């Protein structure tokens, strides 16, 4: 792929409420981000499965996005997936359940107060970072890199990341990103398990 290259592909997923989706280019593994602003003002609304011609360009993070897009005439191609606008209740339950469990554990004097406050603070910072990145994506401003978002999750902000994904509908469609996020959650839960071992609990309390 080269800059300003004209390509054609199929809209693999489209969220009409949010005005964005992803294009799948034939014989290419990487998908291309597509925003409603890439179309002319009087262009028909995009739909999953529609063929589209566009110009490839890179955003400030070096990721491919579509510009000067136009729908091609002809039938639709069956889309492999569709972005859901409904929050994932499991993710919300896991995040809120984690806070509830820590609170109960603290009330029973099994968890130190600093640990509860730390996860709340880290989650708040992470939630704000997701909100900032979503706002920047819409206005094509300075983005928060995926690496930094994952580092915030590793540092204990993963409950805030889960809530931000579902309530802000940001970073909730990329399978690779979600896989890494759940990996950071597993790491955090393993560390909490170690902290709650009797020999360490006495030292940290």
d(Cα 89, Cα 141) in Å, to the nearest integer?
Answer: 31
pTM for the full predicted model: 0.57
pLDDT tens for 187-201 read 888 887 777 666 555
* Contacts by 63-67, CB closer than 8 A, 24 or more apart: 63/33, 64/1, 64/30, 64/32, 64/33, 65/32, 65/33, 65/34, 65/35, 65/38, 66/23, 66/32, 66/33, 66/34, 66/35, 66/38, 67/38
Chain-centroid distance, C-alpha 22: 14
Using a pLDDT cut of 70, give the percent of the chain over it: 82
Residue whose entry in the numeric block shows the structure tokens 């992803």: 22
Q: Which of 41-55, 65-79, 102-116 has the highest mean predicted lDDT (pLDDT)?
A: 102-116
pLDDT of residue 47: 82
pLDDT of residue 163: 93
Q: Of 34-48, 81-95, 102-116, which gets the smallest average pLDDT? A: 81-95
pLDDT of residue 128: 95
- How many Å is the maximal CA-CA distance in the chain? 69
Q: Averaged over 26-51, what is the pLDDT?
A: 81
Helix intervals (H) in 21-174: 89-107, 113-139, 146-152, 158-167
Residue 36 has pLDDT above 80, yes or no: yes
Domains of the chain: 6-71 (2.40.50.140), 89-204 (no CATH)
pLDDT of residue 95: 92
Using a pLDDT cut of 90, give the percent of the chain over it: 26
Residue 204 has pLDDT above 50, yes or no: no
pLDDT of residue 24: 85
Question: Are the C-beta atoms of 82 and 150 separated by less than 8 Å?
Answer: no
pLDDT of residue 161: 93
pLDDT of residue 118: 94
Residue 79 has pLDDT above 80, yes or no: no
d(Cα 139, Cα 127) in Å, to the nearest integer?
Answer: 19
How many residues are listed for the chain in this entry?
205
The average confidence (pLDDT) of the chain is 81
pLDDT of residue 159: 95
pLDDT tens for 6-19 read 888 888 888 877 78
Query: 149 falls in which pLDDT band (50, 70, 90)?
Result: very high
């Amino acid at each position: 792929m080269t800059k300003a290259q004209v390509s054609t592909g199929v809209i693999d997923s489209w969220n009409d409420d949010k005005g964005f989706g992803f294009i799948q280019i034939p014989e290419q593994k990487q998908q291309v981000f597509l925003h409603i602003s890439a179309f002319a003002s009087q262009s028909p609304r995009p739909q999953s499965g529609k063929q589209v011609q566009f110009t490839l360009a890179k955003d400030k993070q070096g990721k491919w996005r579509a510009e000067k897009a136009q729908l091609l005439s002809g039938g639709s191609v069956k889309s492999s997936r569709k972005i859901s606008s409904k929050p994932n209740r499991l993710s919300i339950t896991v995040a809120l359940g984690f806070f509830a469990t820590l609170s109960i554990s603290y009330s029973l004097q099994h968890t130190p107060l600093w640990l509860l406050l730390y996860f709340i603070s880290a989650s708040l910072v992470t939630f704000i970072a997701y909100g900032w990145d979503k706002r920047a994506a819409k206005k094509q401003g300075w983005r928060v890199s995926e690496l930094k978002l994952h580092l915030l999750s590793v540092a204990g902000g993963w409950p805030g990341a889960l809530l931000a994904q579902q309530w802000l509908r940001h970073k909730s469609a990329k399978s690779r990103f979600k896989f890494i996020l759940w990996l950071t959650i597993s790491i955090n839960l393993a560390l909490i398990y170690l902290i709650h071992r009797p020999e360490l609990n006495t030292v940290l309390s």
